[in-house]
Structure 1
């Protein structure tokens, strides 16, 4: 998926940036970075251009110049809408944050919303909604749910799978543009803008919480698990996915700026928050640069007391 192009406000700078993108796509990364640098000479405080310059310089092998661009961008944009801090962390020039900046997540998905469904389903063989829906059904065949919360609902891809099995379906997301796409599907009873780490669900009144492909943009899952456990009924289910890795680290910020989580981390967090695994399965969840991406499809519930 490509981010939306954000104009510099200067026609000549925009034209050079457009040519730079064409050079970059053709594989001439050094020339692309040089032309983008020329565009930034015209509009030196163009934040979107600075981020793109850093990406081009990094790909061209000039990591030092990329770091300079991202550090300058952080000074111009402390909210870090483009993820410069994440880039620095992923490159080893800053500590890995426990969570990405909310402004970054919101900006990213506002830009992706118009092409999100098509990009995932048609180009990336996205399987998380199907896999989670199947795991939920296998965990509780034919069960009907009174109240379902879809955390990080996005455009509502999982909502369409669960709608017929619940009385009330609520979605929460940080992106207004994604929420509008979800509203267009007409499957949710309630849609709310909010951060999945901060959103407080009704205490002990939810019998299914879903987080489909959300935790890759959360990082440390502690706060999210606290909120989920507080809301779940005694027989409720928590169905979620994570991208995963095979190493020993519990959480890794990947070059994609998405977080992966180990299976041991998932088990530890569930245990710490008085939940247990109902089912857990490693699956290929979508394509990434033409290669299958590994994830965990998890259904959990409160420890019987």
Structure 2
């Protein structure tokens, strides 16, 4: 047969691509597969290898397009289904990822990391029972996979199975899981232990960066969030005006938008970059900084007339330094307005299995007195809902007293 036969040329390019792929020369392998496919369009084996290579290179849209063709041409191609699932996962297409990964598993693909990916996608689709089965399978395949233990622990914590959740977090620690993060998780499911004074910063940043796109809609529609409105209601009556307001943990800007008509300027701070961008886009703020609230309070000397923190201290923990820093920034005659989740009886500072902190009125009053505040007003009202039940909060307005 002539060496110019397209089929033979395609075969040569295909085998060259395979050798380059095995050698880790993915760009060159990609080029060979593309040359082969140009000669014999639609060939399933070439489509599959090209798509897997695109997946390895992180070219997710190209990989999805190629691998969709490959699996249609050869529905039994296990590696194509797996790579298609991983490409969908990378693009946050959770339903597509689950479908493709399950196809790959059914065809015999079985690694711990694959089962973990499947579990994570199922969790995104709010299918916890299936996710738990995938995590269990991952741990059968690799009992040392720390991330699978961690995710299993979080699932069981959410289900109220705190003892088994604690065992999972201990296993995650034993197999190299992040020490600070998993000690924090353990404290949330073990009663009577020491309460971590703060959550891990990386945990809070990741939580809200991930949450940002749906944050406002989720809070208002699903959690019936009302802390911002309830906290600011007494400050928005009587014609009072605030030259400068500081919004701690401003999120997407719910408080800023409510208080802006009553203020000359509103400055905000949040740990999560995605939240900062949305707050800036709201138009309610003079400026919004990314950072922790203590650094924000301490970094400038311009005195504030109102400092607000609506449903923020649930992700802060101990408040000693916060009270001191706010006191330094407040004008005499100013106001420090905040909400906290109400702690259980007998607890001053509590870390709950929700990974939120709760505080008692006695704790707040003690810190207020120690830092030069007097209590103007406190009241109890719901903050939001959890599983369609109101979560009660304590709302507090403090005023600085003369030094």
TM class by shorter chain equals 0.7 to 0.9
Distance 2:383 2:292 in 1: 24
Deviation, 1:14, is 2.0
Aligned to 1:71: 173
Contact kept in structure 2, 1:21 and 1:32, CA below 8 Å: no
From 96, 119, 124, the equivalent of 2:218 is 119
Contact kept in structure 1, 2:112 and 2:142, CA below 8 Å: no
Tell me the SS of whatever aligns to 2:295. coil
Distance 2:231 2:155 in 1: 36
Residues 247-266 of structure 1 mapped to structure 2, 5 A cutoff: 247-266=345-364
Aligned to 1:182: 279
From 283, 292, 303, the equivalent of 1:195 is 292
From 286, 289, 295, the equivalent of 2:393 is 295
Tell me the SS of whatever aligns to 1:62. helix
Bigger RCO (CA 8 Å, 6+ sep): 1
Residues 167-178 of structure 1 mapped to structure 2, 5 A cutoff: 167-178=264-275
Tell me the SS of whatever aligns to 2:355. coil
Distance 1:9 1:191 in 2: 42
Deviation, 1:196, is 1.6
Aligned to 1:37: 136
Aligned to 2:231: 132
Contact kept in structure 2, 1:216 and 1:242, CA below 8 Å: yes
Higher helix proportion (structure 1 or 2): 2
Deviation, 1:91, is 2.0
Distance 2:203 2:338 in 1: 22
| Structure 1 runs not aligned, ≥5 long | none
Aligned to 2:372: 274
The total of aligned residue pairs comes to 291
Tell me the SS of whatever aligns to 2:294. coil
1:61-101 per-residue CA deviation (whole Å, 9 max, x = no partner) reads: 6345423344247x343563xxx322201222863210101
Over aligned residue pairs, what C-alpha RMSD do you find?
2.9
| Structure 2 runs not aligned, ≥5 long | 1-91, 98-110
Distance 2:334 2:205 in 1: 29
Distance 1:132 1:45 in 2: 44
Deviation, 1:266, is 0.9
Distance 1:225 1:282 in 2: 20
Distance 2:330 2:120 in 1: 49
Q: Structure 1 residues 280, 118: closer, same or farther in 2, change over 3 A?
A: same
Deviation, 1:198, is 3.3
Contact kept in structure 2, 1:54 and 1:69, CA below 8 Å: no
Question: Could you say which structure has the larger radius of gyration?
Answer: 2
From 176, 185, 205, the equivalent of 1:106 is 205
Confirm or deny that 1:238 pairs with 2:336. Answer: yes
Tell me the SS of whatever aligns to 2:293. coil
Deviation, 1:183, is 1.3
Deviation, 1:167, is 1.4
Distance 2:221 2:318 in 1: 30
Contact kept in structure 2, 1:245 and 1:260, CA below 8 Å: yes
Tell me the SS of whatever aligns to 1:39. helix
Confirm or deny that 1:15 pairs with 2:106. Answer: no
Moved more, 88-97 or 183-192: 88-97
Q: Structure 1 residues 64, 214: closer, same or farther in 2, change over 3 A?
A: closer
Deviation, 1:197, is 3.1
Contact kept in structure 2, 1:57 and 1:65, CA below 8 Å: no
Confirm or deny that 1:56 pairs with 2:158. Answer: no
Contact kept in structure 1, 2:374 and 2:399, CA below 8 Å: yes
Deviation, 1:173, is 0.7
